[in-house]
Structure 1
């Protein structure tokens, strides 16, 4: 049964078309920290999805919500559903970013829709981001966020036998912290275990969706320069359990120890 009223939805949809324009110079230090968080030396080429190290949020203490995210209602609408996740993204890279150049990012809310899922109300917000240098769009990304109710507690996945196939990725707590720091992601599910388990109902710290996406993009980038990359998060990944990264017929997947596909991605090369 829906708990979101038509009046609430109409109010939130008033945010569609809202824009945020920011400008900054693309400095090498944030890109180096981001590269190192992904396991690169940070001294050579730009790491996969390097634009995620740019235009980082910097809210004041009183502008941060209880989950660690910036409070809603400034740019994104004040959706009342308590849980918010980065669910999917579609990116295009028309030309490479140039370090040291002044860069403009325009963020625009392009859609806000309501659906009923198995756990109840779901609100999907789509935000387009365009990064420009010298009047040229270098990166275009459409991010999808999903808002939902609290829901039931999530059990720890039970490993299957035989184990999945692919490259094993086993991030540790420090890796999660470094990625959070490099992307200014203060969501507490990635570093505050009591909050993650007692408040949000997860069995352990949650591996960042963007961290997983960047690892899949790195896998795709071994074959050439990315022209486009898209991903969809399908299930959470937890600290303390291995993740298998693999490619099959042009589809890149992150697989949990129980065989569940946690993320699926596609890429095209220039």
Structure 2
């Protein structure tokens, strides 16, 4: 995705063109291998035996990675759009949330296939400019067995402008049954970017993140925060099997300040409210997990 200094307005004609991507699909094949599991376990400071055990929830994001050649990358480090994803002429892209269901486990040695589809492309005029939303659906199978169904909400935003105001922050809940503090230093952000082959410069290039995309520092990956939320659940309920998970990014988490992840089970213990809070006490991600 290229970061042009002037972003065209999303006219009805532009939106109509982008909507021709609706229904487009791609199929990727991969194998569940041990090395990425061991790498993420090291980055998250947890112990995971890569042999025999089911892949922890959300760790499938270590597979089906983008492999665009270097010459096909845009100025922001993302692959240029116009292939599977629509060529939205807005420079800032964010994975804003998603919903997942686990039907069957994945394990090291499994040959897997992911079928992805662009379900919809919609437009909204926000306070700071145009917003385009792409809903992407994935199905991951092991042979004929459907293992994971996933929806991803991808948001494209207009460039940052002087004087733009952020939405008012939401205070995070003050009390939680489970809590853990995370220090998002550049090493952690680099390791997660490397493990997921994520070239987006907002996660490792401070001058780019601040000068070009208008952030106050390096941005902590939304998928990393979501993974840490379910890692918190696993630490406190290691025998639980996650069946459903939904999450929404509320506010960017910026280094180098520590942030924290929290969980609160329901009375029956089957539904877990999860959230992330920044160093100022603001809610940055909210999520719900269901377990059995």
Q: 2:185 aligns with which of 172, 175, 184?
A: 172
What are the within-5 Å matches in structure 2 for residues 218-229 of structure 1? 218-221=231-234, 222-223=236-237, 224-229=240-245
Deviations 1:165-202 (A, max 9, x none): 64221122111111111111111011111111111111
Q: Give 1:160's aligned residue.
A: none
Secondary structure at the aligned position of 2:75 is classed as: coil
For residues 119-152 of structure 1, the C-alpha deviation after alignment (integer angstroms, 9 at most, x for no partner) is 1211000111111002011011100100010134
Aligned-partner Cα distance in 1 for 2:40–2:138: 19
| Selected match of 1:233 from 249, 254, 277 | 249
The answer to whether structure 1 residue 142 and structure 2 residue 151 are counterparts is yes
TM-score normalised by the chain length of structure 1: 0.91
After TM superposition, the runs of 4+ consecutive aligned structure 1 residues lying more than 6 A away are none
Q: Residue 3 of structure 1 aligns with which residue? A: 9
1:47 offset after TM fit, Å?
3.3
Pairwise CA RMSD = 2.0
Task: Tell me by how many angstroms 1:164 deviates.
Answer: 5.9
Shift of 1:22: 0.9
Please say if residues 226 and 247 of structure 2, whose CA atoms lie closer than 8 Å, have aligned partners that are also in contact. yes
Please give the alpha-carbon distance, in whole angstroms, between the structure 1 residues aligned to 2:43 and 2:224: 9
Secondary structure of the residue aligned to 1:108 is strand
Per the TM alignment, residue 101 of structure 1 is displaced from its structure 2 partner at its CA by 1.8
> In the TM superposition, what are the counterparts of 1:1-270 in structure 2 within 5 Å?
3-44=9-50, 45=53, 46-152=55-161, 166-221=179-234, 222-223=236-237, 224-248=240-264, 249=266, 250-270=272-292
Q: Is the 8 A contact 2:180 2:232 kept in 1?
A: no
Instruction: Provide structure 1 residue ranges, at least 5 long, that are not aligned to the other structure.
Output: 156-162
1:18 to partner: Cα distance: 0.5
Q: Give distance in 2, aligned partners of 1:62 and 1:219.
A: 39
Contact 2:22–2:119 (CA under 8 A) maintained in structure 1: yes
Residues matched between the structures, number: 263
- Could you tell me which runs of 5 or more consecutive residues in structure 2 were left unpaired when the two chains were aligned: 1-7, 166-172, 267-271
